[in-house]
Structure 1
Amino acid sequence: MQTDLIRKHAAPVPRYTSYPTAPHFHAGINAGTYREWLGAIAPGTALSLYAHIPFCDRLCWFCACNTKQTRRYQPLADYLTYLYREIATVAGAVDSRVEVGALHLGGGSPTMLAPDDMRALNDVLRSAFRFRPDAEISVEIDPNDMDEARFDALAEIGMTRVSLGVQDFDPKVQQAINREQTFDQTRAVVDGARMRGVSSVNIDLLYGLPHQTRESVEATVEQALLLNPDRIALFGYAHVPWMRKHQTMIDEAALPDALERFSQSSRAAEILLSCGYQAIGIDHFARPDDTMAIAHREGRLRRNFQGYTVDDLDTLIGFGGSAIGKLPQGYVQNTTATSEYQRLVSETGLAVAKGFALSEEDRMRAWVIERLMCDFSFSKSEFARCFGAQGAPVIEIADRLMEEDEDGLIASSGDRFVVTSRGRPVVRSVVAAFDAYFGTNGARHSIAV
């Protein structure tokens, strides 16, 4: 029965880190729109900031991020000049009394930055914005970049959480994805971060990679557990070569099918749960005392472009090429090509290429989708308190799904619409029923399992 379920519901669907999803952003949202939205941010609002460093010194073939390979440092140094100008432009457009509650440095590989440039970026951001004393500073780390000087610089800027890309420890798999990284390298980075007071360590693992088997994934998870991570993100590899040309370097014949992917993820989850980790949403696991596990238990888990988060701030400002921001009015995304990003910033101080203005219906559907992705359920009465009678069409979708469900994917519990344990592996397919834009523009997605 489970095999039939996976086969039936594994069709490609979005990952729903936003709603509407990024393929529906359009050029009707521009720099002028963004300036208006920034100016409307109320004094005292708490912001979340994201700074994107779209460079790597090697391309991992599995990666679907917006990044480019460079062996020279000068492109990064040049890029920072424009990044600083964009930061200054945005800061000048918002009220000076806003506060920063969280900063995330991502990429690409932000740890490619030289230590002095890490400090300089931090100085620019803190000169432009007022940071809360307890602001979370999280950094994506490539263990191959790290040395003592970089660790010291990250400690100086107040790093509180790190996320390490591991993917898989099997040398055959690493070679197939161009991501060679030893266990000892990874352990040294975890130890180095903790020695400098980092309170939360996340490790990213992937299933569904070329040459992976259930047994090899099991071995990787067991090695990762030796590092005592506070969180583990267990992502399914998204094979999207039509979006990321370097993924054509991966031998598709070596990729596991949907049933094998499900077997790999199930076995990994079984091990993590048996070791005391709590399942968070579709692909995260956390120790019970971790802030993400606490937020999940209390119904405060959120989902944004970085995946699951405890960041409950409603305004996210993205800096850098391809960065996405979310404001109360909608989404904005910068142009992706580094050269175009630099040209636009030099001309106007901003680099917005597209976005999406949210309607009230969009907000209603986004609310339901986020709760299903985070909690696997939502309360109809809570939804009604938020949106009133105008939310009736969305509730009708839920009721229709309940009537039409033949596979035991959903159920009702009091006033709650619930995705069952049977339906959780394919929750993205359930969620897609609430997506008014799905299938309307020919966008392609990774499989749902």
Structure 2
Amino acid sequence: MARGYRFELVKLLSQWRVRLVIAACWLAPAVFVALVGQQSSLPTDTTFGRWMHATGWAGALVMLGFAGTYALPLLTSLVAGDVFAVEDRLGTWRHLLVAVRSPRRIFAAKALASLTVILLLVVGMAVSGIIGGLATVGNQPLVGLDGHLLAPGAAAGQVLLSWVCVLAPTLALAGIGLLGSVAFGRSPMGLLLPVVVALAMDLAQMLPLPVAVRFALPSYTFIAWTGLFTDPVQAGPLLIGVAVSLVWAVVATVLAYLLFLRRDFTSQTYDGSGRRALVAGAVPLVALLAVTTGIVAVATPSTGSGIEQDDVQASVSTAFAHLYRLQTQQLHRPDVTEAQLAATTACTKGDGLVEPEGPGNDWRCVVSWHLPGVDATGQAIYQLDVTSDGRYVADGDGPKEVNGYFQVRTPAGDEPNPLWQFDGNVDLLPTTPKG
């Protein structure tokens, strides 16, 4: 087994495209983060993109968001989606079977070799993104998705944990890649299967689906890692996502293994069996989605969108209080605590004409707070764009001296007012029962 694993690993690493991808994963993220971090215009439409000038840890998280959407599905296709199909293209199955004499050993060696290369690629992207950010901006505190500051050490731990968590959906896509590579043979459909499945799941995540369906898709873990950057941590969705992803990885790999033991190795032009791929591959995965959806629906207290008025108001109040303290520090004003501010928020949707729940860009929130020794109540207006996965962007709409656009001096240079625009995250799992 050890010799077979080394043999398959050498075969993978000897391919020029695999070498090129490994080099790109270990170099490109650092260059990307460094270049973007030096630009005056930041990718504010991505999570943590607006903080790339403030801390080097933000760049690694921006890279993680890009990897989950684009890079990791492509990498699993290039490695796991081709590890069996390459033998069909080269016509080398009979030589391999004569040399090894055990289809089980061949499958295990190829699966482990592809897993090793995928892990090498993911580690390279993580390390490269972190190094690029720290070298360009520095080891500064990171502002979380609820506005609280994470010390450099805490930020480092959460960033590393985020990359570890996305290994689970990556393994799920790798298992689907193995299944496609076995089921479709030399057909290019096997190579494209992880990308197609990842694209379909990403499109599903954009739709206003019930929470149970959203959590039952492995791709949700590529989003749920953002819950690590709130206080307290939104661990529920992340743990569910990791568990679902690992189940998908095991089931897809087992299906690939069973198909591999039954396939025909005598044909030199084997392009897979469409009926067998449908019956033994697609149908079990659809059934798995239905079963996991049912289990999640029973185990979690929410089957709607998960975006409720109370949750949005609590999230905005918490983020505003934390960022108000940050603004106070940057403007060298007397410090206040969150308890002294006692921030509260009242939100409506669609100017009060629709039910205040669900995603949309028509949320309007009014934040109220108090300052020690001041009788008047401060108020600030925000327009919210809430996406289906619970993330939102709050855009300040006055008063200008509180949440308008102006520059403040920070250790990293002049930056926009932190209360002008900020990112937030609504926990799709309610912490208290409704009713």
Fold agreement, TM-score > 0.5: no
Name the TM-score class by shorter chain: under 0.3
The structure whose Rg is larger is 2
More strand by share: 1
More helix by share: 2
Higher relative contact order (CA 8 A, sep 6+): 1
